[in-house]
């Protein structure tokens, strides 16, 4: 490895091999983070295009350390609610698919705020958004990092359904669209 100029502590990036199929599937490495960021940027573009002002003071921030658990341990002190946008897992014991927005009720950090989670579920139901509610016992989000950092907030977790986390992942445009729609409704209703 040293002959290649690679040593301990170096960052190595693998070609994501992104493929978008005619049927709307997106296949790539690292979709969990890229898909979530795409949802947030699309949400901002949509709100700007439609000249929509959120009902609440809204701050969007993107953590570069989410994967290691301390990305949002510090957040601005005026934040009282936080929705983390990250991938929804797909598996044999889960109800999420590549077409859904996942609403996580509980993960390794404990249950998410009941009122926020219920409101997200109600908004999805009332607006015919494909969604799934799941529990991810081995998962953690930026909300968990913020709570462990001592922030006094309510939190929720949503995101597009993604198959094969941290491998050659797959999602569908529908999952991204459903995530954007749910965020939009939460911020404007």
What is the pTM for the complete model shown? Answer: 0.94
Selecting among 66, 98, 169, 177, the annotated active-site residue is 66
Active-site residue 2, yes or no?
A: no
Q: What is the pLDDT of residues 47-69, one digit of tens each?
A: 999 999 999 999 999 987 777 77
- Decide: helix, strand or coil at residue 114: helix
Boundaries of every domain in the chain: 16-62+71-188
- Architecture per CATH, domain 16-62+71-188, reads as 3-Layer(aba) Sandwich (3.40)
Percent of the chain clearing pLDDT 70 (strictly above)? 99
Q: To 10 degrees, the CA torsion angle through 72, 156, 160, 34?
A: -10
Distance separating alpha carbons of residues 61 and 102, to the nearest angstrom: 20
Cα-flanking dihedrals φ and ψ of residue 124, to 5°? -65, -45
- Rg of the chain over Cα atoms, rounded to whole angstroms, equals 17
Q: What is the pLDDT of residues 9-22, one digit of tens each?
A: 998 878 899 999 99
**168, 29 Cβ separation under 8 angstroms:** yes
CB-neighbour burial class of residue 131 (10 A; exposed 0-12, middle 13-18, buried 19+): buried
């Amino acid at each position: 490895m040293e002959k290649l100029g690679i040593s301990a502590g170096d960052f190595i990036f693998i070609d994501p091999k992104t493929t978008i199929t005619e049927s709307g599937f997106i296949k790539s490495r690292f979709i969990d983070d890229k898909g979530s960021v795409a949802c947030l940027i699309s949400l901002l573009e949509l709100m700007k295009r439609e000249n929509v002002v959120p009902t609440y003071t809204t701050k969007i921030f993107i953590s570069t350390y989410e994967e290691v658990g301390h990305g949002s341990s510090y957040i601005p002190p005026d934040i009282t609610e936080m929705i983390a946008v990250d991938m929804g897992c797909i598996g044999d014991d889960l109800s999420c698919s590549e077409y859904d927005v996942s609403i996580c009720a509980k993960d390794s950090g404990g249950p998410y705020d009941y009122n926020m989670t219920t409101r997200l579920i109600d908004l999805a139901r009332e607006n015919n958004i494909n969604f799934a509610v799941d529990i991810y016992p081995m998962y953690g989000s930026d909300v968990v990092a913020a709570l462990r950092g001592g922030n006094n907030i309510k939190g929720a977790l949503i995101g597009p359904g993604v198959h094969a986390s941290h491998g050659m992942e797959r999602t569908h445009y529908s999952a991204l669209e459903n995530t954007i729609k749910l965020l939009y409704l939460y911020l404007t209703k």
